[in-house]
Each structure stands twice: as structure tokens, then as C-alpha cells.
Amino acid sequence: MTEPLPSSVLFCCDHNAVRSPMAEGLMKKFYGTGAYVQSAGVKGDMEIDGFSIAVCAELGIELARHRSRSFDQMEEWGDDLSSFDLIVALSPAAQRKALELTRFHHLEVVYWPILDPTGLGEGREDKLRSYREARDQIIARMQDRWGPGGA
């Protein structure tokens, strides 16, 4: 039994460079404008990962223009965490930070244990295989929760 699509979702991970930008792009691809979708990291100190760009491009999702940002930067730029219906943490550190920042807000924080593909694999094909696995785990979680979407 799938749930209705929330009106706003924030995906978060460690650096907003691998898993959370993939999740943001995938959500927009599969569910269109049915929900306002953003992503952030505990830190915003890295550029978008090239392997994330590559494996999302395989599905027609463009991530090259993504700019990483932290929770702090997000709030500085005017996004209020309390305005989101759902926060999906994709790493343990992001889950801790989201719970800490939302302890006075009534909103749902869920944790999806998604593989961190960084540092896995020896050659390009091995690395791409790891990133595809993380991407596909995100897709499976989304479809389990909200159905297949319209991609």
C-alpha cells in the first residue's frame, strides 16, 4: 500500500554531492511537480560527484548544474526546514542532524539506509556499478512509498 505524495520533501545526506542530489533528481523525474523537492547536506563543502551525474544521465536526469548546500546554507538562503512535510535522511549523520534541527517542529523524518558508493570499486565500470546500486536503492524506496510515478 503506497502513501500519498507529500507536498514537500527534503532529501539529505553528508555533503549533498552524491545521494541526496540523486534523490532530488529522481523524485522530480518520477513524480514531476506533484511535490516541492530540495536536497541538502550536513556539510555543503563538495561539488556534485561526477559519477552521480553519469548514472542519473542514464535515466535522462540532469544533475550537472546542481550546487551543493548544507542545512545552514539552506536556511541562510531562505528555505525553512519547518516548511517541509517530510525529510528523508540518506545517511546516519544526516538523520542525526535532521532530528536535531526539527526537534521543535511537527514533521516527519525518515531514514533510508542507502549505500554510500564513494570509494567503492577499482576502475570506472566498478565505480559506476556502485553508483547505479545506490541510485536503484533510492528508486526502490521511492516506489515502495509513493508508487511507480510517471517516469
The predicted pLDDT at position 70 comes to: 87
In tens, the pLDDT along 85-125 reads 999 999 999 999 888 888 777 788 999 999 999 988 788 89
Is position 151 within any domain? no
Beta carbons of 71 and 42 less than 8 angstroms apart: yes
Is position 2 within any domain? no
- Given a cut of 70, whether residue 58 has pLDDT beyond it is yes
58 lies in which domain range?
Answer: 8-146
The predicted pLDDT at position 151 comes to: 60
**CATH value at residue 56:** 3.40.50.2300
- pLDDT above 70 covers a percentage of the chain that reads 98
Number of domains in the chain: 1
In whole angstroms, give the CA distance from residue 30 to residue 69.
Answer: 23
Beta carbons of 15 and 42 less than 8 angstroms apart: yes
**Strand (E) positions, 3-148?**
8-13, 36-41, 86-89, 108-111
Is position 24 within any domain? yes
